[in-house]
Structure 1
Amino acid sequence: MSDRICAVIPAAGRGTRLGQAIPKIMIEVADGVTVWHLLHRRLRPSVAHVHVVLSPDGVGAFRELAAAELATGAVSVSVQPEPTGMGDAIFGAAPQWRGHDAILVVWGDQANLSPVTVRAVAAAHTGPGVTLPLVAMADPYVEYEFGPAGLTRVLMSREGDRCRPGGLSDIGVFCLATAGLEEAWARYAAGARRGAATGEVNFLPFLPHLAQDLAWPVRVVPVADPDEARGINTPADLEFARRAHARWAT
């Protein structure tokens, strides 16, 4: 376990596209096993603390679900009052993570995340900057572009960008040094262009801003299996996660 790193899981959204009225982190992938249980098992060996950001409607039920983990003090929760984007969720929880050397941001629906990848990212993140596990995707939803100066741009399909087949995508995991991070986000968010479709100040374009405008180093951890990038957004994604868990459990 690394005492340097705090995992932060933004999980304030609902699984409405799945026909569920609960946060996706609470959705069952097997009897009694939720996405939360999978993420907790895979994160805890590599981080000192896990913090989950929830909606006002979801926090009570999550406290019941994670009562045992919360009782240890190694897990905490906070509330994002309004669904104003991942960046706001992450930085609204800053009091929970600012005392650590780094934060490991993990989207709350990444049921296929491998503990091997978590360990590799924690081991690679040894100083200032950003560490990104990236994987080549046949049809990426998000694409990371690199040039001679490093990470230059992040394309996002949900904001109308066109991603290229075979492009590099993230797996919903991002490790960032905390020194100077809050100040960098505040300055970025104050002048950032809002997404064309969502109207949000998106978190992902903040990463090339750190690399290009602030000269933060970006380390890439290659991921071989594109299935790790598959979050739970549709009924097909949920069925895939359930089949994958059944294979791992046998």
Structure 2
Amino acid sequence: MTGSVCAVIPAAGRGTRLGLDVPKIMLEIAGGVTVWHLLYRRLLPYTGHVHVVVAPEAEGPFRRLAADEIGRGTVSVSVQHEPTGMGDAVFGASGHWESHDGILVVWGDQANLSETTVRRVVDAHRRAPGLTVSLVPMPDPYVEYEFAGGRLLRVRQSREGDDCRSGGLSDVGVFCLSTDGLETAWKDYLADAARGTVTGEINFLPFLAYLSQNRGRVVNPVHVDDPDEARGINTAEDLEFARRVHAGSAK
């Protein structure tokens, strides 16, 4: 599938930080529209397929939610049996994306992601395959990207206890990677990767720095103007914000 891109959504979280009994990707935002519907509308025009990774208990409910899309063959689903991190979710599903030239990794709670950003990231990837990251300066970033000499040196993560600097570059939860040699690079990375000091997980974001420094992948930054695009659904306030923004959406 020359030039094709497969969107991969790791969405195996349980929504526990929000005190919910439903994964964040299945949260209703407005009028029957869920986070899933918003993401699908934005991703499908620019990718050949959308693959979603869910937790075991969410597989049945999600398959019912996305039954029409699955029936059309534009969506597939797999299960991450243990909550071992985003990287394991993405690479555990490699059989679904390895035949494509690129994967567009999108976090499953990015309700405010714009179609324009998706298009720009995919277009940038097709012009220069390697590692494309959407970046936006944030007054209080949840993660922060450090660059030097065109290389990605480090990704600070507040969830792992790192200090992120005010005004630092964060991401909007969208990353496009060439699949050429990607699975091998992940396996090599796992051999020496440090686990997060808080979560105990081997995180996906430091792998991007590994690809830049150890595999020589050129980083293609796509700069986003609106910091609200970076606002995933991590708190009750985030959910209410998304519902206000998308109040006019209809299924």
Which TM bucket (shorter chain)?
over 0.9
Alignment partner, residue 168 of structure 2: 167
Kindly indicate whether the alpha-carbon contact (under 8 Å) linking 2:31 and 2:249 is maintained by their aligned counterparts in 1: no
Give yes or no for contact 2:6–2:100 (8 Å, CA) kept in 1: yes
- TM-score, with normalisation over the residues of structure 2? 0.96
Quote the residue 2:21 is aligned against: 21
Distance of 1:149 and 1:41 partners within structure 2: 33
What is the CA RMSD across the aligned residues, in angstroms?
A: 1.2
1:9 aligned residue:
9
Using the alignment, how far apart are the partners of 1:78 and 1:133 within structure 2?
A: 26
- Counterparts of 1:106-121 in structure 2, within 5 Å, are 106-121=106-121
Residue equivalent to 2:218: 217
Query: Which string of whole-angstrom CA distances, capped at 9 and with x for unpartnered residues, describes residues 168-220 of structure 1?
Result: 00111110000000000001012101110011110000001100111111000
Aligned twin of 2:46: 46
Which residue identity lines up with residue 45 of structure 1 in the other structure?
P
Map Cα deviations across residues 152-172 of structure 1 (whole Å, 9 max, x no partner): 110000111000000000111
| Runs (5+) with no aligned partner, structure 1 | none
Equivalent residue number for residue 90 of structure 1: 90
What CA distance in whole angstroms lies between the structure 1 residues aligned with 2:79 and 2:53?
Answer: 6
Identical-pair percentage = 66
Tell me how far 1:26 sits from its aligned partner.
Answer: 0.3
Tell whether 2:103 aligns with 1:103.
yes
SS at 1:179 equivalent: coil
TM-score by length of 1: 0.97
| 3-state SS of 2:132 partner | strand
- 1: CA distance, partners of 2:104 / 2:213: 21
Task: Encode CA deviations 1:108-143: one digit per residue, 9 max, x unaligned.
Answer: 000000000000001110243100010000000100
Alignment size in residue pairs: 248
User: 104-113 vs 145-154, which deviates more?
Assistant: 145-154
Unaligned runs of 5+ in 2: none
**Equivalent residue for 2:30?**
30
Report the alpha carbon displacement of residue 247 of structure 1 after superposing the two structures with TM: 5.6
Paired letter, 2:102:
A
> Does 2:246 correspond to 1:245?
yes
Amino acid at match of 2:22: I
- Distance in 2 (CA, whole Å) between partners of 1:88 and 1:18 is 23
CA distance, structure 2, for counterparts of residue 163 and residue 22 of structure 1: 30
Counterpart amino acid of residue 224 in structure 1: D
Corresponding residue for 1:178?
Answer: 179
**Cα drift, residue 17 of structure 1:** 2.6
Q: Is the 8 A contact 1:130 1:217 kept in 2?
A: yes
Residues 81-117 of structure 1 deviation map (CA, whole Å, 9 limit, x = unaligned): 1000000000000000000000000000000000000
The structural deviation recorded for 1:19 is: 2.7
Find the counterpart in structure 1 of residue 146 from structure 2: 145
